[in-house]
Amino acid sequence: MSSPLLRALGTASIIAHHLGNCPVEVWTELREGLDGSYKGYGSLELLQRFPLAVLPATITPDGWDHGGDTQESMFERCRQIINLLRQCFKPDDTIVVVTHGGMLTYLFHVLLQISPLTPSWFDVMYGAINHVRFVPRKNR
Burial 110-132 (b: 16+ CB within 10 A, else e): beeeeeeeeeeebebeeeeeeee
DSSP annotation of 26 reads B
One-letter amino acid at 106 equals Y
Bridge partners (DSSP) of residue 24 are 53
Residue ranges with strand state E in the chain: 24-25, 37-40, 53-54, 64-67
pLDDT per residue of the chain (140 residues) written in tens, 0 to 9: 999 999 999 999 999 999 999 999 999 999 987 778 889 999 999 999 999 999 999 999 999 999 889 888 999 999 999 999 989 988 888 899 999 888 888 898 898 888 888 777 777 766 667 777 767 677 65
8 Å CB contact between 41 and 10? no
Residue ranges with strand state E in 5-132: 24-25, 37-40, 53-54, 64-67
In the chain, what's the furthest Cα-to-Cα distance?
A: 52
Distance of CA 102 to the CA centre of its chain: 11
- Give the per-residue pLDDT at 140: 54
Whole-model pTM: value is 0.86
8 Å CB contact between 126 and 102? no
